[in-house]
Structure 1
Amino acid sequence: MKINTEDLHLFYGAKEILKGISIQSKEKEFIGLIGPNGSGKSTLLKCIYRTLKPDQGAVYLDGEELSTIRVKDSARKLAVVAQHNHYNFDFTVQEIVMMGRSPHKKALERDNAGDHAIVKEALQAVGMSEFADRSFSTLSGGEQQRVILARALAQQTPCLILDEPTNHLDITHQLQLMRIVKNLNVTVISAVHDLNIAAMFCDRIYALKDGRIAGEGTPESLLTPEFIREIYDVEAEVVKDKKGQMHILFVE
């Protein structure tokens, strides 16, 4: 699935947060969004997954304007792993992941054997099978994030939206989560805090600064010391290991 945004503008009161954002994703492409805190990454993603409505511009799913698509239908196309996940009731891990099946079911339709098999597989994929009967609220932040990813996997959509998905995760689970996502063979748009994670997993990157697109390209073409200085106001070196993977080193 392809996702495009066209000239998105969004205001919080008198403050303009998005100032004409246009991005394009190709089929099954992993798009990264980078930029300093407050640059508009999460706001842009919220416009894509319908938590916020832009004041100007539009979001398109395979050429169809998002505002014309029923919410349930768009939920069959987009799954979301957000930064913060709070529930007013005490659900088990399995119940949380089963929520990912909701867009595929009719009103009051019961969960069936197929749904349970999909949920079991999703929990196995993120290494949370043994937590199925645990209360979601008793989990650590990192464990909760893996459960939310499992819920997104259970949704079985052609596109995944991630808002800094590796927050709260140790390095082992950061890499595990990103490898799972990379191997899904779906379109991914993800805000990424860690530039080395972005370099390792993204096919293409959009850099945001002050609500505008400041640059776009492959990790290798975009993430130069000069561009990193321009965006983050820090000094960096870019090196490659023996396998050809680039790494960004921050220096004094």
Structure 2
Amino acid sequence: MKIYTDNIKVSYGAADILKGISVNTEAKEFIGIIGPNGSGKSTLLKCMYRTLKPDDGAVYLNGDPLLSMKVKESSKKIAVVAQHNYYNFDFSVKEVVLMGRSPHKKTLDRDNEEDYKIVEQALETVGMKSFEDRSFSTLSGGEQQKVILARALAQQTQCLILDEPTNHLDITHQLEILRIVKDLGITIVAAIHDLNLAAAYCDKLYVMRDGQIVCEGSPEEVLTRELIKEVYSIDIEIVRDCRGRMHILFV
């Protein structure tokens, strides 16, 4: 699945939030969107998963305009894992993951054997099968986020959008969730705050500042001392571990 945006513009009142953003992915590519708070990352992703309609420009899935599709049709192509997830009702873990099957069902369809098999596989993938009968509200933040990821997997899409999915999690759950996502072998677009995580998992990075793309390329090309100083106003050192992988140290 290829997803790309063409000159996306979004304004709130007199404020221009996105000023003509074009992002292109190849199939099965892990794309990272990085940049300071307020740079427009979440606004861009909301346009990509159609909770926000851009003022100008368009989003395309495999060349087809996203807004020309019915919501249920696009939900079979794109799944979303957001940063925060709140529920007013006390659903079980299995019930939450079953919600991911709704794009594949008609209004009065009931959950069937295939749905339950898909849900079971999704829970196994994220390591939460033994929690299926637990109340979602009793889980830790990291456990809840893995269940939300399982719900996205139950949609069986070929594109997954992650809006800062690990920002409030401990390092164990951050690494675990990104490892699971990386191993899916599908197209990933993720807003990521942690530059070291972006360097470790992303194939390509887009750097945003003030509603614009200021740089794009591989992590090696993008994450330079000069660019990070320009965008984040901080000094860094780049070091290599025993495997040759880059790490950013903040001075």
Pair 1:80-2:65 in alignment:
no
Number of the residue aligned with 1:138: 138
Q: Distance in 1 between matches of 2:88 and 2:64?
A: 34
Residue equivalent to 2:166: 166
> Structure 2 regions of 5+ residues with no counterpart?
none
**For the residues of structure 2 that align with 1:161 and 1:210, how far apart are their CA atoms?**
21
The residue number in structure 2 matching 1:196 is: 196
Matched position secondary structure for 2:184: coil
The superposition leaves residues 30-66 of structure 1 with CA deviations (integer Å, 9 ceiling, x where unpaired) of 0000000010000100000011110111000011011
Amino acid at match of 1:86: Y
Equivalent-residue separation in structure 1 for 2:95 and 2:74 (angstroms)? 22
Q: Is the 8 A contact 2:83 2:166 kept in 1?
A: no
Quick one: distance in 2 between partners of 1:75 and 1:51? 12
Instruction: Give the match's secondary structure for 2:151.
Output: helix
The offset of 1:241, in angstroms, is 1.3
How far apart are residue 130 of structure 1 and its match? 2.3
Deviation per CA, 1:67-109: give whole Å up to 9, x if none. Answer: 1011000000000001122223221111110011111112211
Contact 1:142 1:167 in 2 (8 A): no
Supply the AA of the counterpart residue of 1:100. Answer: G
CA–CA distance in structure 2, aligned partners of residues 154 and 245 of structure 1:
33
Match of 1:61 in 2: 61
CA distance in 2, matches of 1:122, 1:72: 20
**Equivalent residue number for residue 102 of structure 1:** 102
Separation in 1 of the partners of 2:64 and 2:158?
Answer: 15
What is the aligned-residue RMSD (CA, Å)?
Answer: 1.0
User: Which TM-score applies when normalising by structure 1?
Assistant: 0.97
Corresponding residue of 2:212: 212
Q: What secondary structure is seen at the aligned counterpart in 2 of 1:123?
A: helix
Higher alpha-carbon deviation: 107-116 or 182-191: 107-116
Measured in 1, the distance between the counterparts of 2:137 and 2:241 equals 41
CA deviations over 1:126-168 (Å, ceiling 9, x no partner)? 1222221222222222221111101011111000000111122
For the 8 Å contact 2:35–2:231, the answer to whether it is kept is yes
Matched letter for residue 136 of structure 1: F
Give, in angstroms, the shift of residue 178 of structure 1: 0.7
Query: Matched residues in 2 for 1:167 and 1:221: separation?
Result: 24
The answer as to whether partners of 1:78 and 1:161 remain within 8 angstroms in 2 is yes
Q: How far apart, in 1, do the equivalents of 2:140 and 2:242 lie?
A: 36
> Aligned AA for 2:29?
E
Tell me by how many angstroms 1:225 deviates.
Answer: 0.6
Q: Return the alpha-carbon distance in structure 2 between the equivalents of residues 51 and 85 of structure 1.
A: 15
Among all aligned residue pairs of Structure 1 and Structure 2, give the percentage whose two residues are the same amino acid: 66
Write the letter of the residue equivalent to 2:113: A
Q: Would you say the 8 A contact 1:118–1:154 is kept in 2?
A: yes
Aligned pairs for 1:1-252 (under 5 A) are 1-251=1-251
What SS does the corresponding residue of 1:107 show, helix, strand or coil?
A: coil
Distance in 2 of aligned mates of 1:128 and 1:14: 46
Write the letter of the residue equivalent to 1:180. I
Distance 1:66 1:81 in 2: 18
